[in-house]
Amino acid sequence: MKNIKICIGSSCHLKGAEEVIEAFQKLIKEYNLENEIELYASFCLNNCTDGVSVMRWDEKILSVCSKNARDVFDREIVPYI
Ligand code: FES
């Protein structure tokens, strides 16, 4: 099981962290990755100006939003599972 952490610190919260979480939850279901990926909410990842910040395994992906969530998931997550 691999972990993805989505920052829900105040800055990322204001930038739509909840929507990113919802989008990733849907994508995990859509791709049948429930047994591969676990989603977590995280405290501030120290990249507040570039939020929403996401931690894929041990690397950060920055500037995620509800509009690019699918692209980010396809490009930055699916190939690395
Ligand atoms: S609030 Fe998300 S990186 Fe700081």
Note the pLDDT of residue 14. 98
Burial degree of 51 (CB within 10 A; 0-12, 13-18, 19+): buried
Distance in Å, CA 51 to ligand 1 centroid: 6
User: Does the Cβ of 48 fall within 6 Å of ligand 1?
Assistant: yes
Instruction: Write down the pTM of the prediction.
Output: 0.96
Note the pLDDT of residue 74. 98
Mutate to test the pocket of ligand 1, among 5, 20, 48, 63 (most ligand atoms within 8 A of CB): 48
SS3 state of residue 78: helix
- Please list the ranges in the chain whose pLDDT falls under 70: none
